[in-house]
Copies of this chain bind each other. A is one copy, B any other.
Amino acid sequence: MSFKEEVEFLRSRLYKWEGDANTFHKEGPYIEVVTSPSNPDGTIRRAVVNRGGKLIHDLAYYWPQYTPITGAADHDIILFTFSKCTGHAGSRIGWAIVKDEQVASKMTKFIELSSIGVSKESQLRAAKILEALNDGLENDTRSDNFFEYGRRIMAERWEKLRKIVESSSKIFGLLEYPDEFCNFSKGITGSYPAFAWLESKKNEDIANLLGAHKMLTRTGTRFGTESKYVRISMMSRDEVFNLFLERLAAAKASNGNDH
């Protein structure tokens, strides 16, 4: 949603926000942003307009701890961020892979004008961390590298969450994600998105319902859909995540157990 907010805030004469690509039917040039895995729901996305417009692929969450790496990302404009890769969101470091030299040069110019370039402290820190990450992969026994470790943590958390949700399947629902062959892990792996996209099976305002049990979530209406959905971070610290599970189980109990 920050794409929408930014576009609407700047009010450029160069472009405007047209909303959901699925319902975009206008003629003429357009830019489609494809966020895959999607935020908030973690699903794999592909361009949907397909009328020759420009595509921006946001692969912020396309890392092995979240999703199987099913192939090389081969798009015209690909955005990445350090934030979701290692969790260093505060460093404000991202990068792009861009095929067209002119587009790349305009992007560089924009960053220069809007921020005079990226903080040197952040660049140094990111370089150091990426080096450590890379060293870890080179000395790799596969099972104990950074990404496999991350996936293990995420898989454990998702398993705990699914257990609670499945035991209350008339109250809560979660998406299922396909297991796929991951080229990074060289094996079949599951998807463990950074956010859970929880649904109220009773069509209730689920952010309100969870809020009553002291769980702060982001309502579906913030993502252009209904209030029967919420986005829940799966990335909090252990203590916070376990507290969330406890409170979710309590919310389930007080909303009627379906067993």
Q: Mark A residues whose CB is within 8 Å of B.
A: 2, 5-6, 9-14, 89-92, 109-110, 113-122, 124-125
User: Taking CB as reference atom, which chain B residue is nearest A106?
Assistant: B9
Q: Which residues of B contact A122 (CB under 8 A)?
A: 119, 121-122
Tell me whether B14 and A11 are in contact (CB under 8 A).
yes
A90 to chain B, nearest CB (A): 3
Subset of 10 A-B contacts with CB under 8 Å: A10-B10, A11-B13, A11-B14, A90-B119, A90-B120, A90-B121, A92-B116, A114-B115, A115-B115, A118-B119
A40 to chain B, nearest CB (A): 17
Tell me whether B113 and A92 are in contact (CB under 8 A).
no
Given contacts A119-B121, A121-B125, contact A114 B11 (CB under 8 A): no
Tell me whether B114 and A92 are in contact (CB under 8 A).
no
Bound CA–CA A106/B124 (angstroms): 31
